[in-house]
Structure 1
C-alpha cells in the first residue's frame, strides 16, 4: 500500500478528508470503498492497478480526521454522513459499494438505506466483514487501553506507528485520531442493528485465519434476500489489502463491475 502524501485527483491534497478520491476521472459509475475500523481508506489504493482505467474509485473515511472535535457517530449517523458525500459525486444509482472489515457493515447499511430510498445498488461487496456476536473483542475499550495498539496492528496487518508502515507519515494528531476512531468503532459494535439488503452479497473471506473461528460469511444470510457469494482468499484478515490478496480481489471485482456496466440501460 503506497503512502498518500497527497490524494490523487484532489486539488486540496487532503488525504484525511471524508471523501477520498483515489481516482476521480473515468466514465464508469464509481466504486465507493468504506473504511475499516481505523477510519482510513488508503489501503484501497492498491485496487487501482487491477480495475478498469475508466473506473473511478473513492474511499470514505471517518470525519474525526478532518474535524477532530466531531463526536463519535453511531452507525446511522455514519450512513447519513457518507451518503451525503457519495451523492456529491454520484447523485443517483446504480451504486457500487465495498467495505473491508467494519467497512462491510457500513457498506451494507448504506446499501439498505439506498434501496429504501428507491435507488438501485448494483454491487455490495465485503472483504472479511463479520457482524459482532458479543461486542468487539468481547469488551469495552478506552482510548488508553493497553490492548489497543496490538488490536489495531492485527486488524490492518501492521503496526501503524512503525517507520515501515504505509501510515507512518500520519503525524501525532492524525495518529491520535486513528486510535480514537478505532476505539469508538470497537465500542459501537455493541449497538449495531442490521437491516436486509435486497440482492446478492459478494464476499471475500480471509481463509487463513477462519479455521478456528465461529464466524462465517453465512452470518449475513439473514440480512439479504439473495445469496452470499464467497471467494476464499489465502491470507489472514489483516493482510487482505496486501498486494497479492488484493490482486485476486481486484480481478474478481473488475469482472463484476464490468458485467454490471454491461447491464446498465438494459431492461
Structure 2
C-alpha cells in the first residue's frame, strides 16, 4: 500500500522534500512511506502522525465479528451515534446477513446514505477488512526522520512510536478523542499546531 502511494505521489512530484501525514491507520501508512522514501535516498521534511498507533495483537485472534463491530464502532463514532451489535449476535449470522443487519440499523441513525445497498455495503466492508488486516500484519521498522505526533487528551500516548523513532519525535496533545480530533472544535487546535510545525520545518 505504501509503495503504491509513493508511486502515485512521484508521478506528480518525483523528488522531495516530501511532507507526509495521516490520521489513524493512514498515519501508519505514512510512516512506512516516509521510511521507504528515506531508504531510497529521498528527503522527507516532515512526517505527521495524527492519533496513530502501532498494534501488537496477533491477527489470528481477530474474527469476522470483531471486524464487523470495528466497522460499526468507526461509523458510529464518525457520525456521533452509539452503534454496535454484540459479537454473539453477529457470530450467529452469515456474512450477508451481518451486512443486512448493519444496513437495517444504520440507516435510521443517518450513519449510512439511505440509498446504499447490500452490494455497496459489502464493498465498504471488504475495504475496511483489508485495511484492518494490513494494520495488524504490519510491523513498523525504525525511521530516523523528523516526526510529529498529535495524540488526544482522551488517551494521551506515544502510540508505540517513541521506541521506533530514531530521529526527533515531537508530541502534541490535542483535546478530544480519536474521532473528535478530526472534528470541530478540536480540529482547529490540530490545524493550528500543524500549521506551526509546517512553518517551522519549511524555514529550516
**TM tier relative to shorter chain:** 0.7 to 0.9
The answer as to whether partners of 1:114 and 1:120 remain within 8 angstroms in 2 is yes
The answer as to whether partners of 1:107 and 1:124 remain within 8 angstroms in 2 is yes
Give the CA deviation at 1:219.
1.2
- Number of corresponding residues: 179
Aligned with 2:144 (options 189, 194, 198): 198
Tell me the residue number matched to 1:147: 69
1:246 counterpart = 2:187: yes
1:178 counterpart = 2:100: no
1:88-136, Cα deviation, whole Å (9 max, x unpaired): 2211100011111111111000000000010000110111111012147
TM-score by length of 1: 0.58
The answer as to whether partners of 2:53 and 2:159 remain within 8 angstroms in 1 is no
Counterpart CA distance in 1 for 2:36 and 2:67 is: 34
- The CA RMSD over aligned residues, in Å, is 2.8
1:169-218, Cα deviation, whole Å (9 max, x unpaired): 8844554322212122223333212122112321111112x17xxxx316
Give the CA deviation at 1:148.
4.1
1:155–1:122 distance in 2 versus 1, CA, 3 Å:
farther
Structure possessing the higher radius of gyration over alpha carbons: 2
Counterpart CA distance in 2 for 1:92 and 1:244 is: 36
Tell me the residue number matched to 1:232: 173
The answer as to whether partners of 1:152 and 1:182 remain within 8 angstroms in 2 is no
Give the secondary structure class of the aligned counterpart of 1:107. helix
Tell me the residue number matched to 2:99: none
TM-score by length of 2: 0.75
